[in-house]
Amino acid sequence: MTRTDTPPAWDERTQLTTFLDYVRATARAKCEGLSDEDARAAHLPGSPLMTLSGLISHLRWVEYFWFRVVFLGEEDESPWTEEDPDREMRIAVGIPLSRLLAEYAEDCARYDERHLDILRELTDGRTGD
């Protein structure tokens, strides 16, 4: 995968969508060819939840929170709680990597369709098609 710097003249919307696509593609690329066991491997003794599966789950729920809860004002149905703020990483242990990636991709596609609408509404209040 070839990476380049972004042009300094891009508008904010283009920068936002480009960086989201960049991070999403990087996350998927880092998981290519991994078994579920490898994706659940915790290599950092001090961070047992720091796994590739855990990070994919975390990315999914962070985007969910920002797009659906913060921007759209929907009820927060994310897995984390004050008692267990790392729950989104903990639950990833029981979910196959392919399912985590599929759910993340599905959510990303939904947000891609809606985040332009969100930005427009936040800009001038215009909603709809």
Predicted pLDDT at 116: 56
Q: Which residues of the chain have pLDDT under 70?
A: 1-8, 113-124, 127-129
Tokens of 21: 């696509």
- Give the H or E element holding residue 100: helix 97-124
Distance CA 66, CA 78 (A): 11
Angle between helices 12-31 and 97-124 (to 10 degrees): 180
What ranges in the chain are assigned the alpha helix state H?
12-31, 36-39, 52-64, 87-90, 97-124
- Return d(Cα 31, Cα 25) in angstroms, integer: 10
Task: Give me the pLDDT at residue 104, please.
Answer: 93
Structure tokens at 36: 């579920």
Coil, strand or helix at 122: helix
User: In whole angstroms, what is the distance from residue 80 CA to residue 10 CA?
Assistant: 35
All structural domains of the chain with their residue ranges = 35-124
Tokens, residue 71: 């921007």
How high is the pLDDT of residue 69?
Answer: 93
